[in-house]
Amino acid sequence: MTTILITGGHSGIGLAAVRALAAEKVDLVLAGRSPDRMRAVADELRAGHGVSATTLAVDTSSLASVRSAAGQVDRKLDAVLLNAGGRFDGDVTFSADGYETTFATNCLGHFLLVELLLPRLSDHGRVVWTASGTHDPDSMDGRLVGKAVEPDAVALSRAATLSAGKRYSTSKLCTVMYAYEMDRRLRRHGSKVSSIAYDPGSVPETGLLRGLPGPARRLATSAAMKWVSRRIGVTTSDTAFSGASLAALAAGPDYAGVTGKYFQAQENNLSAVRSARVSYDEQRAAKLWDDSKRLVHLRPDEEPAQLR
């Protein structure tokens, strides 16, 4: 039986993905920081599809929480979906570890989680990193949100002057670069594990905009704004299709063995596309990876040989 762990599988695109996976009889581990909501989803999946659905408390902004959660995973996994994340508007805040909240939540927590869980992955397992088209400063998505800056882990962990949009788009640039760098390291060691970056497209109905004022959220999710977004070149999608696409990348036979690629969901079409030019910079990506190892205080006994 296939077993998949997903962060943020209790709402939005993640919820659509776990429903699609459960319908295919995939067992699930729902990881996140909303225990009651996760339990409700797990109950729904068990009752509706007869699959195993368990919950795992984890706050990806906290390194201690990530370590605790990873230590509780006692089963073989066929995929890890690094799907949770957020944009944090308002004043800059910092995690319990002293890192800027966006970078801590979207990047460092998932980076540490995948390092710790790789030994639990099956030989042909898959890791899917949920990114965003906003990572590309040359795209309309990136220009609207705020152009991503240099993917420097140390600088981003301390970022106090960047706008919320730039903090978010740069965290997603780092996510794409993590996916590519992981693939390169895995291939050097002869691993068959896949590492894929995924852009679900702009889906305003998800919780990403929860930090905005009510009127701004209503405008962002209106039919008129969706029409405008499509006309100006924003990568648009909807919750159901983006969730189904994430499920396909995680377990679909069409994507078995696919690795080191960036997939994008747009208007009911899932395809491999080019990511931002800077995302292919191997020197920057290696530095990002190694700096992230130091920031999460990765111990030698925690680091899998395939990722060195």
* Model confidence pLDDT, tens digit, residues 162-183: 999 999 999 999 999 999 999 9
In this prediction, residue 215 carries a pLDDT of 43
Average pLDDT over residues 69-91: 96
Q: Is there a contact between 177 and 151 (Cβ–Cβ < 8 Å)?
A: yes
The least confident of 91-105, 145-159, 221-235 is 221-235
What value, to the nearest 5°, has the Cα angle with vertex 130 and ends 297 and 147?
A: 85
What is the structure's pLDDT at 219?
46
Closest alpha carbon to 120 in 177, 85, 72 = 72
Supply the pTM of this predicted model: 0.93
Closest among 34, 17, 182 to 112, alpha carbons compared: 182
Tell the residue number behind the tokens 């980076």, with chain if given: 111
Token output for 305: 């040989």
Q: How far apart are CA 94 and CA 75, in angstroms?
A: 33
Residues 219-231 have a mean pLDDT of 59
The backbone torsions φ and ψ at residue 269, rounded to the nearest 5 degrees and listed phi first, read -135, 125
Which is it for strands 269-273 and 262-266: parallel, antiparallel or unpaired?
Answer: antiparallel
186 pLDDT more than 60: yes
Neighbours of 267 (CB within 10 A): 11
- Distance between CA 204 and CA 195 in Å, rounded? 26
pLDDT more than 90, % of the chain: 88
Contact yes or no for 113/120 (Cβ under 8 A): no
Residue 28 bridge partners (DSSP): 4, 53
**Sorting pLDDT into bands at 50, 70 and 90, what band is 224?**
low
Sequence-ordered alpha helix ranges (H) in the chain: 12-23, 35-49, 63-72, 101-103, 109-117, 140-145, 153-158, 164-188, 214-220, 223-232, 239-251, 282-295
Q: Which domains can be identified in the chain, with CATH numbers?
A: 3-303 (3.40.50.720)
Q: Is the pLDDT of residue 271 over 80?
A: yes
Residues in the chain: 308
Mean predicted confidence (pLDDT) in 72-83: 98
What angle, 0 to 180 degrees and rounded to 10, lies between the N-to-C axes of helices 35-49 and 12-23?
20
* Average pLDDT of the residues in 20-26: 98
